Chain A
């Protein structure tokens, strides 16, 4: 669920940003104020909100799963973008891109089947049996 949010919010946010930025006239470094005004245009504001959503769900995922578990899942975002552009924008997808989609999907499926967190044995105090305890006490005497 969280991982789904991660792989959905990032590409959607990025495409909102890119759509918003290309609609604006070119921004030069000489006028930084125009950059601040750009933040409040609808597409860019939506892109920023989506990216904040992505970062929040990414952090939540990292709090209970390994980095090597979460990162491949973020790669799934690329597949989402490719499929969206295929079925929504009706762009053609080359054979190489289909191969990429298959590889990412297989890779994510691979890692998702394993454990999400490295097992860390709890550090336990050394256990001494009663017999050992008696031996220690006798030595002390």
Chain B
């Protein structure tokens, strides 16, 4: 895909690297957060047992959760950096839709989720839809 960019903007590879940084950090963050929540267990059940405070404590005492949040924060700063140099109409749809697909791949590899044909199809559909909607 060739993205026409005005001369004052960073080149193709720099732009690609900026968007890749957002996608990588946010995918890592999402996968770590999801792994943390799976290791904690069903929050509704924990809340039924030990109340809302117990559920909040269960989340806040999980180191994986903080690792995930740290990467999500990195992704946020990567997004700010990219928005500083590139037009929002490129950064927002590209990062939002690419993240969906990389997350499906990462969830299959690292979380061993059963990503069947139905889920691939919906990840791709939502990805294209988000791109259409935001572009």
Contact = CB atoms under 8 A, between A and B. Distances in A.
Majority secondary structure of chain A interface residues (helix, strand, loop or mixed): helix
A118 B103 contact: no
A107 B125 contact: yes
B33 A75 contact: no
Contacts of A63: 37-38, 40-44
B43 A78 contact: no
Contact of A71 (B41, B100, B132): B100
Nearest to A97: B133
B102 to A, nearest CB: 11
B133 A78 contact: yes
A20 to B, nearest CB: 17
B111 A67 contact: yes
Interface string B115-128: 11011011111101
A110 B124 CA distance: 11
Interface residues of A, number: 35
Interface residues of B, number: 40
Interface string B16-49: 0000000000000011011001101111100000
Interface string A77-88: 011001000000
B130 interface: yes
Consensus secondary structure, chain B interface: helix
Contacts of B41: 63
Contact of B114 (A96, A107, A110, A118): A118
A107 B126 contact: yes
Contacts of A75: 100, 126, 129-130
A114 B118 contact: yes
A82 B134 CA distance: 9
Given A96-B135, A100-B131, 7 more contacts: A62-B33, A67-B111, A68-B104, A72-B126, A82-B133, A104-B129, A108-B126
Interface of A: 59-60, 62-64, 66-72, 75, 78-79, 82, 96-97, 99-108, 110-111, 113-115, 118-119
